[in-house]
Amino acid sequence: MKSTSNYLRCEGRELHYMAWGDPAAEPVIAWHGLARTGRDMDELAAHLSQSGRYFVICPDTIGRGLSQWSPDPDAEYCLPFYVKLATALVDQLGLPSFHWVGTSMGGAIGLLAAATTLRQRIRRLVLNDIGPELAEPAVQRIRSYAGSPAAFDTVSELEQYFRQIYEPYGWISDAQWRRLTESSVRRLPDGRVTPHYDPAMVRQFFVHPDDYKRWTEWDSLSLPVLCLRGETSDLLLPETAEQMRVRGPRAVVVTIPGCGHAPALNVPAHFAVVERFLEGG
């Protein structure tokens, strides 16, 4: 399915997003994880849009990919500002209602948006290995590599690095690893290559230490929610997923085998569980 690359100014910042499918179709916002880009959603977006039923929008969060880096990191690299950006984006796109599929941070943005500025507009919410509470050791692990991104002489070396740190994503083809790398690389002034994000985005965990504690918002939700949990996830613990199942919107919880944090949403089995939920199944 054909995609287009687009830019919009939201809250004074330029956001990049990929759009897949017919703009007249049912909209889906697909939002990526913390240190990633919207291109991670390519496979899912291509699948959902190919039938003609869905129009899929995959943004790059501020500070990631081709979106602008924030000139005020401490104020803007946080969930409330990301929700402001998301609200401005869907308003400018003229979307009165839509589904939301979010991996990790992208799911946390969707959760907070569904409880606040986009309440009643998000029809169905898919949370990919994220919830209203995170396991602290996993947060420390992510902080350790996200705050000090590695740099390499060659793109091939960067790909090997990605294969190592993102091994928990589960099975990814060689072609998908290559595209993941090439769609999230930038070159430094010294000629080396590094992941395509602003390292200052990790300050979210220092300046806004409670940003991902969202049980109050969770308990306020009433929309249908699907929670995908990687079988060996160290971020979304089984006991947290169980609490999500029995309180608030009472999520449907599905364990994705062969994955940790977070399932890559890149194979037919992943497509099927998301599509079935979006269709009301």
CA 226/CA 251 separation, integer angstroms: 5
pLDDT tens-digit profile of 36-57?
A: 999 999 999 999 999 899 999 9
Determine the pLDDT at residue 281: 67
By residue range, what is the domain housing residue 93? Answer: 3-278
Percentage of the chain exceeding pLDDT 70: 99
**Is 141 a residue whose pLDDT tops 90?**
no
CATH of the domain at 249: 3.40.50.1820
State the Rg of the chain over Cα: 17
Average pLDDT value for the chain: 97
**Is 143 a residue whose pLDDT tops 90?**
no
pLDDT tens-digit profile of 145-177?
A: 788 899 999 999 999 999 999 999 999 999 999
Determine the pLDDT at residue 1: 64
Percentage of the chain exceeding pLDDT 90: 95
Say if residues 236 and 230 touch (Cβ distance below 8 Å). yes
**Pick from 160, 124, 88: which is nearest to 252 by CA?**
124
161 — phi, psi (to 5°)?
Answer: -65, -45
Helix (H) or strand (E) holding 227: strand 225-230
**Pick from 270, 223, 246, 265: which is nearest to 106 by CA?**
265
CA 66/CA 59 separation, integer angstroms: 9
For residue 262, say if its preceding peptide bond is cis, omega within 30 degrees of 0.
yes
Q: How confident is the model at residue 2 (pLDDT cuts 50, 70, 90)?
A: confident
Determine the pLDDT at residue 183: 96
Task: State how many domains the chain has.
Answer: 1
**Is 20 a residue whose pLDDT tops 70?**
yes
